[in-house]
Copies of this chain bind each other. A is one copy, B any other.
Amino acid sequence: MAYELHYWDGLQGRGEFVRLTLEQARSPYVDVARGRAEDGLGTGAMLALIESKTEPYIPFAPPFLKDGDLIVPHTANILHYLGPKLGLAPQDDRRYVVHGLQLTIADFVTEVHDTHHPIASRQYYEEQKEASKARATEFLDHRLPKFMRYFERVLTQNPRGDAHLFGDALTYVDLSMFQVIEGLRYAFPRAMKRFDAHYPRLTALHTRVAALPNIEAYLASPRRIPFNETGIFRHYPELDKALR
């Protein structure tokens, strides 16, 4: 049975990290909320699960993966669950190391989100522009460099070489790092102008992932939703500035 991915329609968001892994593995999946109501799919089908009064494993929020009766919520948890099954994570205890890297990416993604929603995720960006400017400045001056220096170090210190964030083969974390850099380039083009000079290994990883045949085909397909201002990575020029 195909995996069911449940995530909001119309944006890449956190669901995109799961899509990239499923696409790279050419694993059959149903992107539930993007399907048609007459097929039992669509946003309504996703919300019915979240709001169910009988489901024992109710998720707090999308994304979640349904595999038979099992419901696995949270991006990093889904990838941790799928990784070994799809050949994109080790089978042994080292998978907790890979999961740890993904959880650090999850924290970073939350900080990206909070650059445009520092006060209230429920409200519009336009209602919290002043705090957004302060938080985005802090993000570009301090947080982005702190996280990216760390991941550049992870590549540098990988005893199996700097081609991958873990070991000597592709894992889902490499795909997620591609998505992070792709998103940062969309949201903060001024800041990202000097990214490759600061983080050459991460930049090379991004280039390699983009050239993977399955990823290249996916990115060119209608399944890849363009970045837009309803997702995590949003381009608000007033929040962008050169890296220090």
Contacts and interface: CB of A to CB of B under 8 A. Distances in A.
A48 to B, nearest CB: 14
A244 interface: no
Interface in A111-161: 114, 118-120, 122, 131, 134-135, 138, 142, 147, 150, 153-154, 157-159
A74 interface: yes
A152 to B, nearest CB: 11
A158 B58 CA distance: 10
Given A58-B157, A74-B99, A120-B134, 4 more contacts: A52-B157, A71-B97, A107-B110, A119-B134
Interface in A184-222: none
Interface of A: 52-60, 64, 70-74, 76-77, 80-81, 93-94, 96-97, 99-100, 103-104, 107, 110, 114, 118-120, 122, 131, 134-135, 138, 142, 147, 150, 153-154, 157-159
Give the interface centre of A119, A134, A138, A142 by most chain B CB atoms within 10 Å: A119
A141 to B, nearest CB: 9
Contacts of A107: 60, 110
Chain copies in complex:
2
B103 A118 contact: no
9 contacts: A58-B150, A70-B94, A70-B96, A74-B100, A80-B99, A81-B96, A119-B134, A119-B138, A120-B142
Nearest to A74: B103
A11 B201 CA distance: 36
Contact of A59 (B76, B100, B119, B122): B100
Nearest to A156: B53
Nearest to A133: B119
A76 B56 contact: no
Contacts of A94: 70
Contact of A100 (B73, B100, B120, B159): B73
B118 A96 contact: no
B120 A118 contact: no
B119 A73 contact: no
A165 to B, nearest CB: 11
Given A53-B157, A71-B97, A118 B131 contact: yes
